[in-house]
Amino acid sequence: MSFDDILLNIISRLDGERYKHAAFHLMKGKRSGQTLQDTEYYGLHPFFGMLPSLHAKDFDLAYRRLLASGLITEKEDGTVFLSEAGKMRAAALEPVRLNGWVYRGMEQLFFARLALTVQTVSHLSAGDRTFMPVSADPSVQRVVRNLFATVVRGMNPKEIAVEIRNGLESTGMEDARLSRFLARLSGKGMSGMTWHQLSELSGLSEMDLKVEYVETLHIWLDVISEQQTPLLVALSQGVRAESPLTGSAKKTDELYRAGMGMEEIAERRNLKMSTIEDHFVEIAINDPAFPLRKFAAQEDIEDVRSEAARLGTRKLSVLKKSFPGLSYFQLRLILARLGKEDGSDGHDNPGKPGQPAETGHRI
C-alpha cells in the first residue's frame, strides 16, 4: 500500500474528528496521552509508530496530494474528513498488514541485525575477515557477535541461506516485493541499495518503498514468531513490545498499585499533574481491571456512554458540552474504557478502513 493510501486509511478512521497532526503523531509513534488514546478509540494500532523517523515535510506533501486530489477535505475548524471519492477509495483498499503497535519501530533493529549477519557470513565464507560493517550501532554489533558465538556457530552458510529463504517463502509475499526488500542487504562485492537507487530502479517513490519495507518486516516477524526457526528467532529477540505501557506510564502504574494517589505520584515523580493524567488514561486503556468507578460515578459513566453512542462521536469537546459537570480527565477515562467493560459495544473487522480495527493487534 502506498504512503498516500496509508494516510487515507488512517484519516478514514479518524473521519471528521481529528486534525492532520493526529495522523502524523500516530505514524511517528508519539507516546502522548492523546495519541495513545486516539490509537485505542479509532483502532489505529496497525499504524502506531510505523515510521518513527518520518519527516513533517514528507507527511505534508502526501497530505496536500490527498487534498488536491479531492479525496479529503478540511472543515472550518481544521478537522479532516473523507469526501465521497475518498470514501470509495478507502473502501476499496486492501487490508493493511502493518502491525505497528507490536513492533513500534523495533523491526528496524531486526533488519539491522539480519543485514549485519548476512554481510558477515557473506564475507567470511569468501575468506574475507575485514569489512566495513553495515551497522555502526554498537548494540546491533554486540547482538550479532553473540549470535556468531551461539546459534550461527553450528550453522553453515547454506543452512542460513535456506532458513532465510524458506522463511520468506512461507510469508506468501509476492516475488517483486521480496526482491525490493532484499535489495537492501549487502554482502561480499555486492552492496545494498539506497532508497534513492531503489526508487530509480523500481519506479516507486522512496516513501512508498519505506512503507512497503516496514510492512514486509511486520509480516515476516509475525510469521517468525509462529515458526520459531532458530536463527530468525534469535535475530528477532526483543523486537516485540512486552508491555503496552510506555516507560513512564509504567512507573506511575507501579506507584498507583502500591497505593499512592495521583497527587502523591506527581509530587514524588516531580511531574506535572497533566502528565500523570495522561498516564492514567494510558493505564485505563490497557488495564482490563482499571477501577473506573473510583474516578466517576456509575451513573455518569453510563450517561456518557449512551450520549457518545447517540452522537456517534468520541470527540471530547462535543461530549464536554453535554456534561459540563464532568472534568476532561473524567471524560477521557470513561472514553478510554468505552467498549471494554460489560455490554461492550464490540469491535469490527481488523484492518478494514472506515471502522475501528479489532484489538487483536494489541499485546
Report if residue 130 touches another protein, rule: CB under 8 A. yes
CB of 320 to another protein, least distance (A): 33
Q: Which of residues 35-74 bind another protein (CB under 8 A)?
A: 53
Nearer to another protein, 69 or 191 (CB): 191
3-state secondary structure the chain: CCHHHHHHHHHHHHCCCCCHHHHHHHHHCCCCHHHHHHHHHCCCHHHCCCCCCCCHHHHHHHHHHHHHCCCEEECCCCCEEECHHHHHHHHHCCCCCCCHHHHCCCHHHHHHHHHHHHHHHHHHHCCCCCCCCCCCCHHHHHHHHHHHHCCHHHCCHHHHHHHHHHHHHCCCCCHHHHHHHHCCCCECCECCCCHHHHHHHHCCCHHHHHHHHHHHHHHHHHHHHHHCCHHHHHHCCCCCCCCCCCHHHHHHHHHHHCCCCHHHHHHHHCCCHHHHHHHHHHHHHHCCCCCHHHCCCHHHHHHHHHHHHHHCCCCHHHHHHHCCCCCHHHHHHHHHCCCCCCCCCCCCCCCCCCCCCCHHHCC
CB of 57 to another protein, least distance (A): 11
CB of 6 to another protein, least distance (A): 19
Binding segment for another protein (CB under 8 A), chosen from 1-9, 187-195, 327-335, 338-346, is: 187-195
Nearer to another protein, 130 or 298 (CB): 130
Binding segment for another protein (CB under 8 A), chosen from 16-24, 179-187, 254-262, 313-321, is: 179-187
Nearer to another protein, 138 or 324 (CB): 138
Report if residue 171 touches another protein, rule: CB under 8 A. no
Nearer to another protein, 77 or 175 (CB): 175
Which of 135, 171, 246, 252 contacts another protein by CB under 8 A? 135
Which of 68, 92, 136, 149 contacts another protein by CB under 8 A? 136
Q: Which of residues 83-122 bind another protein (CB under 8 A)?
A: 112, 118, 121-122
Nearer to another protein, 55 or 64 (CB): 55
Binding site for another protein (CB under 8 A): 53, 112, 118, 121-122, 125-126, 129-139, 142, 157-158, 160-161, 164-165, 168, 175, 178-183, 185-198, 200-202
